Structure 1
Amino acid sequence: MTAVDATGARALGSPVRGGLRLAVYLLWTLLLVPVQALAVAVRSPLRFRIPRFYHRVCAAILGIGVVVRGERATDGPVLFVSNHSSYLDITVLGSVIPGSFVAKSEVAGWPFFGALAKLQQTVFVERKARSGVEKQRDELGARLDAGDSLILFPEGTSSDGNRTLPFKTALFAVAARRIGDRPLTVQPVSIAPTRLDGIPMGIAFRPCYAWYGDMDLAPHLWTVFTLGRMTVEVEFHPPVTIDGFSSRKALADHCQRAVARGVERAVSGKPPPPAAA
């Protein structure tokens, strides 16, 4: 966050609110961790429902209002592909999608958040290891074959939230998988923070949500706890399958364009297009 943005965020934030939110967040997390750990250990169906409930409450604790547009695909396992600008995307998408995330392998070693990611049955991949593409494809495919929906951030890194970076095509190899006799459903999803206390967020304050570049995590997280209510828009775009495209690159490009248009609409305040009849 720049000096101007940080100063503005501090002016809007409340340390008292931040302390209360932090205490409630930690208490809520400590209460749910053993419950989810048990559900995962015994392979209870609740291991997929608890994270969504957990993230919904976390969003409320953090003052994040999630506005959903479009319809989430629900027929069979789905590969959701989304833009990525913050660790807060996990809470927002986790509150509306019953699925597991695909994350870079480094996340597994993060203190606290790495443990939470493992409890949500995150699939960890080595994004820079080109030689391991087939292994990663098989790992993702095994989860999809088991009926698990997955949430993928194909940009490979987080952005400033004002734009969508090109999608990397390597992990789209799993889209060629067939679930039974049908191709895997792939659904593009746009996510964008749009308002702070009801006021359009704009470029200056979007870094209050976005975490990217060389930002330090702890100060950014504290800013999030202290700020007022944020509105984040999630748009589900029409689902597709690899059968409609000539290659996985063509599929990745289509998803990137759909997501980019959704982000542009959200940050500019334009209404989404009417649903097809």
Structure 2
Amino acid sequence: MISWLRIALSLSCLLAATLVLLPVQLVSLHFDWTLRRRIPRLWHRMACRMIGLHVRVHGTLEKRRPLMLAANHASWKDILVLGAIADVVYIAKSEVRDWPVFGLLARLQASIFVVREEKRKTGEQVNEIGRRLADGEIVVLFPEGTTSDGNRLLEIKTSLFGAAATAASAAPDSTVFIQPVSIAYTGVHGMAMGRYHRPIAAWPGDIEMMPHLMGILKEGALDVDVDFGEMIAYGPSSNRKVVSRAVEARIRKMLGDRLRGR
């Protein structure tokens, strides 16, 4: 009973905050005000607090722009976590647009939706990502292309870094900065989370959304460690595959070290 009361109270508080911020965000999006980047960060911070995500940040966010963050992806909670740390926009699969609740939130955050199956739209989508980077927005890329079980980094897709080359051509010094980021779910109720318990936090795509969401709300306290790695400059002479492999290696090491408690 206490657990359900806590869930109801948390969701009610988050709903109230959403109703207050929603009209302001809609107006900000319509007029393309800078405020549209800051409101989602405030909302994500409240959401993390309400559902019990305790976020610990290691390292610092790169200050130079244009900036792309390349992060491992274990759950929809990754979006809340990174969104609570910085004013970011996400590259998302086109089907996310139509998801209940999360699709609306993605649109309100001005996410960049990509249709990976339609190659004829690839150039247009890459140009949009490049434009947003050139405008100074921090764009988050999950280069695995899907969610993992939280215990490992899947092989990343080098093609998803094509937008960095497009943005580099429009940047003042022809350089885009790519910063590897590791997101590790390391504890539950203050106790270390082992590999067999990490699926509590992770959300592989074959698990139903609502049962998983309710399971997270019932747990009520998850520890998340976010590591910002050393950035990699992507310039005119950079090789996309070489850069993507360097990003993959850095994410894999940070994630592995954090999961092993180092």
Same fold (TM > 0.5): yes
Aligned 8 A contact 1:85 1:160 in 2? yes
Matched, 1:122 2:146: no
Residue number among 191, 200, 211 corresponding to 1:199 in the alignment = 191
> Which of 161, 167, 177 does residue 172 from structure 1 map onto?
161
- The answer on whether the counterparts of 2:161 and 2:244 sit within 8 Å (CA) in structure 1 is yes
1:45 maps to: 34
CA contact (8 A) 2:174 2:235 kept: no
> Is 1:236 aligned to residue 225 of structure 2?
no
- Across the aligned residues of Structure 1 and Structure 2, the Cα RMSD in angstroms comes to 1.7
Matched-pair identity in %: 39
- In structure 1, what is the equivalent of residue 175 of structure 2? 183
Query: Any unmatched runs of 5+ in structure 1?
Result: 1-12, 271-277
Partner residue in 2 for 1:216: 208
Give 1:25 deviation, angstroms: 2.1
| 1:64 correspondence with 2:53 | yes
The aligned amino acid for 1:180 is: P
1:98 paired residue number: 87
Q: Which moved more, 1:171-180 or 1:155-164?
A: 171-180
CA distance in 2, matches of 1:92, 1:171: 22
Q: Is the 8 A contact 2:145 2:157 kept in 1?
A: yes
By how many angstroms is 1:202 displaced?
Answer: 1.1
**Deviations 1:61-83 (Å, cap 9, x if unpaired)?**
11111110111012223111100
Contact preservation (8 Å) 1:169, 1:248: yes
1:267 aligns with 259
Q: TM-score, normalised by structure 1?
A: 0.88
Whether 2:121 is the aligned partner of 1:132: answer yes
SS at match of 1:36: helix
SS of match in other structure, 1:269: coil
CA distance in structure 1 between the partners assigned to 2:50 and 2:17 by the alignment: 9
Decide which moves more: 123-132 or 250-259: 123-132
- Separation in 2, partners of 1:114, 1:48: 17
CA contact (8 A) 1:22 1:225 kept: no
- Correspondence for 2:240: 248
Question: Aligned partners of 2:22, 2:239: CA distance in 1, in Å?
Answer: 41
Aligned equivalent of 1:4 = none
TM-score if structure 2 supplies the norm length?
Answer: 0.93
Matched-pair contact (CA < 8 Å) for 1:18–1:227: no
Q: Which runs of 4+ in 1 moved over 6 A?
A: none
After superposition, the Cα gap between the structure-2 partners of 1:31 and 1:261, relative to the gap in structure 1 and judged at 3 Å, is: same
Aligned partners of 2:71 and 2:141 also within 8 Å: yes
User: Between Structure 1 and Structure 2, how many residues are aligned?
Assistant: 258
Of 191-200 and 125-134, the range deviating more from structure 2: 125-134
1:205, CA displacement in angstroms?
A: 2.1
Q: CA deviation at 1:245?
A: 7.3
- In the alignment, structure 2 segments of 5+ residues that lack a partner are none
Distance 1:196 1:253 in 2: 32
Q: Which residue of 2 aligns with 1:274?
A: none
Sort the Cα spacing of 1:246 and 1:46 in 2 relative to 1 into closer, same or farther, 3 A: closer
Provide the rounded CA distance (Å) in 2 between the counterparts of 1:198 and 1:250.
Answer: 39
